[in-house]
Structure 1
Amino acid sequence: MYELIKICDKSYYINSPAKIGLYLNGNDEVYLVDSGNDKDAGRKIRQHLEKNNWRLKAILNTHSNADHIGGNKYLQSQTGCKIYAPGIDCDFTRHPLLEPSFLYGGFPPKDLRHKFLMAQESDAEYLTAEALPEGMTILPLPGHFFDMVGFRDANDVVYLADSLSSKETLDKYQITFIYDIAAYLNTLENVKGLDAALYVPAHAETTDNIAPLAQINIDKVNEIAEKILLFCKEPLCFEHILQKLFQSYDLTMNFDQYVLVGSTVRSYLSWLKDTGKVCINFENALPLWCSI
C-alpha cells in the first residue's frame, strides 16, 4: 500500500485506499491529485517526495470527502504547498464539520465526528484553471459530491476521483454514496464517452477502457431505483424504505452507514419525485412515499 506507480513520463499515482494522482511538472515540482485519508497518508506521500527530491507545489482536491483531503493539513504544514478545491467542496475543505453535519442533517453527535467523515481543516483556495500546471485540464464530475472534478494531464491520463466504483465494491456495499442522482448518471454517461490513454479511478483499478465499468455503475443505480419503486407500491416512511433496502441487500447498519446510505436514499427519493415516479403524502404527521 502507498506504492508509487509510474504510468508514463511525468504521470504517477500512489496506490492507496483512494488513489492519489501525482504529476511531475518540470524536474522537481509536483502536483498531487488528492492527499489520502489522514496524517499518516500525508507522511507516506512526503516520504516519496523526499526520496525523489521533489517539491510539492500544490494539492488539487477533486472533492472534499475526508478520504481525499485527509493529508492536506499535514502536507501543507510540512511543505507550505497550496491547496485547491472546487466550488462548494472548497468550503467543506476549509470547514470539515460541514460534512458530518450535512450527512446527519443537524449538528452531528461525537459518533460521527471522526476522521472517516471529518478531516482536519486546511487552508484551501477555490480551484481555477490558472492553478493547474501547463497541459492539465479540469473535468467536471458532479453527482457523487457537490462540485467534484477530475483532471486530465498532459500525458492524456485522466484522474476520475469517485465518479465510479469497482464491481467488487458494488458487490460488497451495493449502495455507494451519491449526492445528486441525475448529475451522477449524466457524469457516468460522459465518462463512458471519454477518450484517454489511461483512466485512474480513486476506487477501482486503472484501465485503458473505462466504458464497461461506467455501465456497471449505471446499471446499479437503476437497480436500486427500481427496488425503491417496488417497495413504495405501498406508502412507506423513509426509515422503512431504508430498512427494506438494508434487508434486501443483507447489509449491516451502523451509525456511519445510516447517515451515508440514508443520505443517498434521500437523494434517490428526490430524483424519483422530480421525475414524477413517486409522490409524498403527509398522514398523521408522518411523511409517506408512494410510487405513482
Structure 2
Amino acid sequence: MELIHIKEEMYYLHQAVNIGYIKNNEQGLLIDTGIDKQTAKKAAKLLKEQGLPVTDIFITHAHTDHFGGAAWWREHHNVRIHASPLEKAIIEQPKLEPIYLFQGVDPVDDIRNKFLEGPPVTVDTQVYEGRQTIAGIEGEILFLPGHSYEQPVFCRKGVVYAADSYFAVSYLKKHRIPFMVDIEKACASLQQLLSLEAEGAVPGHGEYEQQFQQTVEANLNWHQQLLDEMEDELHKHSVQTIDALTTAFLNRKHISITQLSMFLLYRTAVLAYVKALAGQHKAQFVIQDNQWLIKPL
C-alpha cells in the first residue's frame, strides 16, 4: 500500500483495490476502505503517520473489496459512513450479495466468504447525484452504474474517484470477463466519463491517470468485443441454457475455475452481456421444455 499525492488535499492509497482520500483541516474523507480489517489497519497507520485524519467514509458500491474494512473503521474511529440508497441496503445487509448470486436461495456456506460477504455496517447518510458536502468537502457525486447497481463516485477539483466505473487495461486482461450487472448502463457510464472536463481519474483497480479517457475508450472496446464474441457463441446453438453458455464462454476465454463463488460471479457477468444482446434484439430469453433458454436472433 502506497500513499500517492494527486494534488492539493487529494490523495489515494494505491493497492490492488484503491482507496481515495481527501483532507479538510481536521476532517478527512476516505473513499472506500478495501476488503477487510487488515487493509483498514494498514490504511489507518499510513494516514496517521502522515497526519491525515479520517472522520468520514464514502462507499462507492457494495462489493466487499470496497467496503469490507468499513466496520473496523466504525468500531475504532467512530467515522460517519455515506452511501447511495441501494448500495446502503447491501452494505447494511451484506448477506444479500451471496443471496442474489445464488438466485435468491439462502446461500450455501461456500459462497459466504469475505470476498462476497463483508461485515455489516450502518450507513449514516444516503447520497444522491449532484453537489454535496461531506466532511466539509464539497464535490460532485455522479452515479455510474454497470459494474454495480448505483455506484456513486466523488469528483472534486477535476479529479474523479471513479471506483469500478472503468478498469485498468491490465485488470481487463487479467480477468478477461469483468464482473458486470448491466452492460448498457456500464457503457453509458463510460460515455459519461468521456464527457467530463476532468484533469484525471483514479479507478478502483489501476493507477491515477491524467489521460484516463484512453483507458475509458479501451473499456468500451473491451465490452464491445465481448458482446461480439458472446453473439458468436450464441449462434453455435439454436438454444442453450445460461449455465451452458457460461461454461462455453469461460472455455473460449481460457478461464479455469474451481470455486462455486467464481462460477456464480462469471455467470452473472455472462448474463449481463446476454441481457445487453437481448436489448439489441440479437438474443431472446425463452421457456422451452421446462427450461430457461437463450435463443440467438
TM over 0.5: yes
What is the CA–CA distance in structure 1 between the aligned matches of 2:52 and 2:214, rounded to whole Å?
36
Question: Which string of whole-angstrom CA distances, capped at 9 and with x for unpartnered residues, describes residues 95-137 of structure 1?
Answer: 1111111122122211111111111011113125244533322
Partner of 1:265, secondary structure, is helix
Structure 2 residue 240 is matched with structure 1 residue 236: yes
Question: Displacement, 1:228?
Answer: 1.9
RMSD over aligned Cα, in angstroms? Answer: 1.5
For residues 247-278 of structure 1, the C-alpha deviation after alignment (integer angstroms, 9 at most, x for no partner) is 10100123122111101111222222233111
Aligned partners of 1:62 and 1:280: how far apart in 2?
32
Q: Retained in 2: the 8 A contact 1:87–1:127?
A: yes
Aligned match of 1:127: 127
Report the 3-state secondary structure (helix = DSSP H, G, I; strand = E; otherwise coil) of the residue aligned with 2:5: strand
Does the alignment pair 1:34 with 2:32? yes
SS of 2:276's equivalent in the other structure is helix
Q: Give yes or no for contact 1:143–1:184 (8 Å, CA) kept in 2.
A: yes
> Conserved in 1, the CA contact under 8 Å of 2:14 and 2:207?
no
Unaligned runs of 5+ in 2: none
**TM score, norm. by length of structure 1:** 0.94
In structure 2, the partner of 1:162 is 164
- In 2, Cα distance between equivalents of 1:127 and 1:245: 37
Q: Which amino acid aligns with 2:246?
A: L
Does structure 1 residue 137 correspond to structure 2 residue 140?
Answer: yes
Identity of aligned residues (%): 24
> How many residue pairs end up in the alignment?
289
1: distance between equivalents of 2:6 and 2:291?
54
* Candidates 150, 174, 177, aligned match of 2:176: 174
Aligned residue runs from structure 1 range 17-96, under 5 A: 17-26=16-25, 28-96=26-94
State whether structure 2 residue 149 is matched by structure 1 residue 146.
Answer: yes
Aligned equivalents of 2:170, 2:53: Cα separation in 1: 36
Q: Provide Cα deviations, 1:204-230, integer angstroms capped at 9, x if missing partner.
A: 221101111111111111111122222
SS across alignment from 1:55: coil
- Which sits farther off after the overlay, 40-49 or 275-284? 275-284
Answer yes or no: is 1:283 the counterpart of 2:281.
no
Q: How many Å apart are 1:63 and its aligned residue?
A: 0.7
Partner of 1:183: 185
Q: Which amino acid aligns with 1:127?
A: V
Letter in 1 for 2:256: T
Matched letter for residue 219 of structure 1: N
TM-score w.r.t. the length of structure 2 is 0.93
Q: Could you list the runs of 5+ residues in structure 1 that have no partner in the other structure? A: none
Range with bigger deviation, 157-166 or 42-51:
42-51
Aligned partner letter, 1:16: Q
Alpha carbons of structure 1 residues 54 and 165: separation in structure 2 relative to 1, 3 Å: closer
In structure 2, C-alpha distance between the alignment counterparts of 1:263 and 1:237, rounded to whole Å: 13
- Give the AA of the match of 1:77: E
1:267 to 260, 265, 272: 272
